[in-house]
Amino acid sequence: MAVSPLLFSFCGFYVSKADGTLKNKTSQVILVRDGNRNVITMYNDFTGDTKDFAMVVPVPVVLRKADIKVVDQSIFQKLNDYSAPRLVEYYDENPCNDYKKYKEDMMMPSGTAMEKALSGKVAGARSSVKIEAQYIVGEYDILILSARESSGLKTWLLANGYKIPANAEEVLDPYIKSNLKFFVVKVNEKEKQKLNSNFLRPIQISFNSPKFMLPIRLGMANADGDQDLIVYAFTRKGRVESTNYRNVNIASNNKIPLFVQKNFGAFYANLFTNQWIKEDKSVAFLEYSWNVTPVNPMKCDPCVGNPPTEQDLVQGGVWWLGNKDWTDYSDVDNEEPDNGSTNVHFTRLHFRYNRESFPQDLMFQVTPNTENYQARYIITHPASGDLNCDAGKKYLHDLKQRRKKELMELTFLTGTNINNWQDDVTTINESEIDATARYTALMPQVKADIENNETAPAGIILLGAAMLGAAGLMRWKGII
Amino acid sequence: MPVLINSINFYFLLLDYFLTVEMCNPASPFILYTNTTVMYVTQFFKDARYFQILFQSIFLCYGILILHWNNEYLLYATYFITSLAAQFICEWLFGKKTIPFFTRLKNGIPSVLISSFGLSLLLKTNDLSVAVFAAVVTIASKYIIRINGRHIFNPSALGIVLSIWLTGNAWVSPGQWGSNAVLFFGVLCLGFIVTTRVQKLDTSLAFLGTFAGLVFARQIIYLDWPMDHFIQSVSTGSLLIFSFFMITDPKTIPGHKMVRILWSAAVAAVAFYLSAFKFMNGAPIFVLVLAQPLVPLLDSFFKANKFEWVPSKACTPAEKKFLDTVYSRSFM
């Protein structure tokens, strides 16, 4: 399987007529996999002149027309809203009162804006490039090319008016030799006008291949700097994980200060960058993993968006749900034939890749791991009202300790200096809270604590554990 | 920090290695610098299994503390407790009755720990009953599946493969180690010493050399990927741990040197084929398990001395006397 759009939001390697000043920063893709069947949906956030749009995706087989669809763009928004990292809000009760107050509330970080633009035309073939198939699907003209060598493909693309990044050959050659085909897309203006809409819809392709991967290398050919990729993966069995990069769960269930609510998007962006650097960059971050089978009642705790409906899932390519319009099963060589199960497991992976940290395409595997996971952060509103009772005093003391911890957690998670949050602290109204428990009062204390308190590096713990183990063994052998 | 830790361990182990090798050579200058404690430590580590346990525990700590694996302590505890219990029962049922029960039990414990660490490092599952199954298969296979008094399968490899195939609720994560260069060298050095101690480095190198050579030929020479693509493929911790700690199990590889080298090269070639062309994850472990039944057959054609964990080379009476006088206590 394979996808690597040359242009366009996702992993794109832009083939642009104008000299490519375009950068694509965040891409989204839906992967559906069961047995050997793959369905890949690529988000299209292209907003420029559609004449300039072009995309190239390596695919393992010559796709038939029935294997290519356009789907509704809104599915991506729904999946993103539903699986994005979330902020949970709790309220302390006043220990001096009897009544209880409890509320949950959620927020999501706002999506990153993406830039784009590109151009391209597809015309006649050169000798070493063969047009395997040619279709019109929705608003797109689609060509499937095969090539014998990269210079031929390069020449062909150049002759047809595509600008190719200088180092694209580095990846075109291996793809050609791996016998991949190239799925080339541009917009058909006539069909586009019939639609009466400015959006280019996502393209969905399906095929059978034992290979479960995303060819991101093509997308790096013209991208300098880091690109984000969100993968929404659906399987029958369980979680999807990367097999050639390390899988790391993004920090979750941390208690963070109340004022982060105002700026949760920035908080998460900082947290992600910080963890990404700490984990040495070459990692796949897990942001969400849950069973979203339409009959399964609880799909998150709490949900930030509506869970995807059966219709959404079918739209996203989950073919084993609903009334199966994937009638063409003639060539399906699934290792695990359709067992009629309507189970759906949803995994959201977040990559930030660049050429140095990701020398290989992304390889995945489906695991039977059905454990739930979500990136979730907790803010807690303090109790209000009179705290002049014994329990109230104790509460106030605990509140101070807790808030100090929250501030520490904030600096630890985001890797930012505590001073950077000074402005945010003042954005919340804390007049009802005891002066000593306000964030403004606790901030200098925490700052001093951080300066005085050098935490022991994990390595020392490791060494200690190893020595302890060795000593235990020796003790057991009666040597010491 | 990890760099420092690894180098400290490395130098300590290197020193220890020389001490052991030179132990029975009275001319060695090292002798003069050692003290009784070190002598005991080295004697203790002459059984390579303790080294292996030490390294495996370091890897597990590395995974949990530095690579931030999910904290699956309950799973690890299940592996260890079930393995020990299974060992107890198997020894009671199938053990050699000529040796006292508790002596047998005690002698078997290092191997049980190695198997449990092997499972903890490689096999993942959400279901503790699968973990129990894996541990029982691992231990029981040593007692039940035997030819000529030797077990056939590498215990933890068999436990892993059967759990994945039969329960469908377990998996291996080839990506869990990342491709961190520090780990790369750490494993290489530590693994080197372990295998040198039991004189089976040839197995590791034959496997690793063949596998890496084929990957190189395909990715760099044939497909034209840049060099870092290849390095990423061969510097994964999983591959190195397999080559230095799993395929090297001296009881389940051919005894004859040349046969052993060819055999592990063949395992590498098949594993390469399955992973490069059939996109199989964790191929080396599966191939190893399938290739192990060939070992008794190969051994019957190519005779070699049976392996003993503790090297039989002992000090000559003269050496022993010398050492006795130097240290005033007998430690051999």
Would the CB atoms of A244 and B1 count as touching at under 8 Å?
Answer: no
Higher pLDDT, B29 or A289: A289
Asked if A285 contacts A272 with a C-beta cutoff of 8 angstroms, the reply is yes
- Indicate yes or no: CB of A479 within 8 angstroms of CB of B168: no
Average pLDDT in the A161-173 region?
A: 71
Cα-based distances in Å from B218 to A365, A403, B286: 22, 57, 22
Residue B45 lies in a domain: no
Q: Among all residues of chain B, which has the CA nearest to that of A280?
A: B180
Pick the closest to residue A434 from A8, A85, A92 (CA basis): A92
Please state the rounded mean pLDDT for residues B126-143: 93
Enumerate residues 116 to 145 of chain A having a beta carbon within 8 A of any beta carbon in chain B: none
The phi, psi pair for A379, rounded to 5°, reads -115, 150
Q: Is residue A467 within a helix (H) or strand (E), and if so which, with residue range?
A: helix A458-476
Question: In terms of domains, do B74 and B158 share one?
Answer: yes
Q: CA A368 from chain center: how many Å? A: 21
Q: What is the largest CA-CA distance in chain A?
A: 88
Select from A210, A369, A370 the Cβ nearest to the Cβ of B278: A210
Mean pLDDT estimate for chain A: 76
Closest chain B residue to A237, measured at CA: B169
In a domain, A14, yes or no: no
Q: Is A21 helix (H, G, I), strand (E, B) or coil?
A: coil
The residue of A252, A276, A369, A413 whose CB has the most chain B CBs within 10 angstroms, and thus the best one to mutate to test that interface, is: A369
Chain A contacts in chain B segment 207-236 (CB below 8 A): 219, 222-226, 228-229, 231-233, 236
Q: Does A471 touch chain B (CB under 8 A)?
A: no
Residue B42 CA, chain-centre distance (Å), reads: 19
Residue A89 has pLDDT above 90, yes or no: no
Is the pLDDT higher at A415 or at B322?
A415
What is the structure's pLDDT at A350? Answer: 93
A471 is a domain residue? no
> In angstroms, rounded to a whole number, what is the distance separating the alpha carbons of residues B131 and B146?
23
* Nearest CB to B178 within list A174, A280, A457: A280
Looking at beta carbons, which residues of chain B come within 8 Å of A466? Answer: 9, 54, 57-58, 61
Distance CA A44, CA B83 (A): 53
Distance from the Cα of A426 to chain B's closest Cα (Å) equals 35
Mean pLDDT of A440-453: 78
Q: Which one is predicted more confidently, B290 or B31?
A: B290
Q: Does the structure show a pLDDT above 80 at A430?
A: no
Predicted local confidence at residue A221, as pLDDT:
61
Residues from chain A that touch B62, judged by Cβ atoms under 8 A, are 462
Q: Is the predicted pLDDT of residue A121 greater than 70, yes or no?
A: no
Contact between chains at B223 and A282 (C-beta distance less than 8 A): no
Q: What is the pLDDT of residue A39?
A: 93
Nearest chain B alpha carbon to A167: B226
What distance in Å separates the CA atoms of residue B27 and residue A201, rounded to the nearest whole number? Answer: 80
Range of the domain at B93: 56-172
Q: Is the residue at A17 inside a domain? A: no
For residue A285, is pLDDT > 90? yes
Provide the pLDDT confidence category of residue A20 given band limits of 50, 70 and 90: very low
Whether residue B37 is contained in a domain is answered as no
Over residues A48-65, mean pLDDT: 81
Secondary structure of residue A458 in the 3-state scheme? helix
- Is B1 a residue whose pLDDT tops 60? no
For position A128, what pLDDT does the model report?
78
Averaged pLDDT for residues B294-313: 68
Helix extents (H) in chain B: 2-22, 29-33, 36-44, 48-61, 73-94, 101-122, 128-144, 155-162, 181-197, 201-216, 227-234, 237-241, 257-277, 283-291, 294-301, 317-327
pLDDT mean over A304-311: 79
- Is A474 inside a domain boundary? no
Alpha carbon of B46 to those of B189, B308, B320: distances in Å? 18, 12, 16
> Of the given ranges (A128-137, A302-311, B109-118), which has the lowest mean pLDDT?
A302-311
Burial class (CB in 10 A: 0-12, 13-18, 19+), A344: buried
Q: How far is CA B209 from CA A43, B215, B278, B287, B291, in A?
A: 43, 10, 21, 17, 18
Interface test with A, best of B72, B116, B169, B180 (most A CBs within 10 A): B169
pLDDT tens-digit profile of A349-392? Answer: 999 988 888 888 899 999 999 888 988 888 888 887 777 888 88
| pLDDT for B166 | 93
Residue with more model confidence, A50 or B43 = A50
Q: Could A244 and B174 be called an inter-chain contact, meaning their C-beta atoms sit closer than 8 Å? A: yes
Using an 8 Å CB-CB cutoff, list chain A residues near B8: 463
The residue ranking higher by pLDDT, A113 or A141, is A141
Between A198 and A7, the higher pLDDT residue: A198
How far does A386 lie from chain B, in Å, by closest CA?
Answer: 42
Categorize the per-residue pLDDT at A339 as very low, low, confident or very high, splitting at 50, 70 and 90. Answer: low
pLDDT of residue B78: 95
Tokens 């639609």 — which residue? A195
Look at residue B72 and tell me if it is in a domain: yes
Question: Which residues in chain A are contacts of B57 at CB distance < 8 A?
Answer: 465-466, 469
A245 and chain B: CB distance < 8 Å anywhere? yes
Phi-psi category of A44—alpha, beta or left, where left has phi over 0 and alpha has psi -120 to 50?
A: beta
B301 touches chain A (CB under 8 A): no
Range of the domain at A278: 26-376
pLDDT confidence of residue A294 = 78
- Taking an 8 Å cut-off on Cβ atoms, the answer to whether A243 and B126 are in contact is no
State yes or no: pLDDT of A81 exceeds 60. Answer: yes
Listed by number, the residues of chain A in 324-343 with a beta carbon closer than 8 Å to a beta carbon of chain B are none
Indicate if the pLDDT at residue A233 is higher than 90: yes
Give the residue from chain A lying closest to B225, CA to CA: A174
Q: Are B263 and B252 in contact (CB under 8 A)?
A: no
Q: Across the interface, do A244 and B232 touch by the CB < 8 Å criterion? A: yes
Total tally of structural domains belonging to chain A: 1
**Euclidean distance between CA atoms A319 and A298, whole angstroms:** 22
Cβ-based burial of A252 (10 A; exposed 0-12, middle 13-18, buried ≥19): middle
B278 touching A (Cβ < 8 Å): yes
Angstroms from B41 CA to nearest CA on chain A: 8
In this structure, the answer to whether residues B167 and B76 fall within a common structural domain is: yes
pLDDT in tens, A243-272: 989 999 998 888 888 888 878 888 888 899
A40–chain B nearest CA distance, Å: 19
Query: Is residue A244 domain-resident?
Result: yes
Same domain, B153 and B216: no
Interface contact B68, partner A, CB < 8 A: yes
Chains A, B: CB contacts under 8 A, how many? 116
For A182-216, the pLDDT digits (tens) are: 888 888 888 888 877 777 888 999 999 888 988 88
What is the average pLDDT score of chain B?
Answer: 77
Is A63 among the domain residues?
yes
Instruction: Map tokens 């994990």 to a residue.
Output: A458
Of the pLDDT bands very low, low, confident and very high (cuts 50, 70, 90), residue A345 is very high
Contact with chain B for residue A479, Cβ under 8 A: yes
Q: Which of residues 82-141 of B touch A (CB under 8 A)?
A: 124-126
Taking the alpha carbons of B270, B272, B278, B283 in that order, is the dihedral positive or negative? Answer: positive
- B282 in a domain, yes or no? yes
- Within an 8 Å CB–CB cutoff, is residue B174 touching chain A? yes
Share of chain B above pLDDT 90, in %: 27
| Residue-level pLDDT at B159 | 93
Residues of A in contact with B5 (CB under 8 A): 459, 462-463
Instruction: Report yes or no for ipTM above 0.95.
Output: no
Q: Taking 50 as the threshold, does the pLDDT of residue A116 lie above it? A: no
d(CA B165, CA B156): 14
B-chain residue closest to A355, CA distance: B228
Please, are residues B62 and B183 in contact by the beta-carbon 8 Å criterion?
Answer: yes
> Are A246 and B175 inside 8 Å of each other by CB?
yes
> Which chain A residues are Cβ-neighbours of B273 within 8 angstroms?
none
Classified as helix, coil or strand, A56 is strand
Per-residue model confidence (pLDDT) at position B132: 95
How many domains would you assign to chain B?
2
Tell me if chain A has a CB within 8 Å of the CB of B180: yes
B67 touches chain A (CB under 8 A): yes
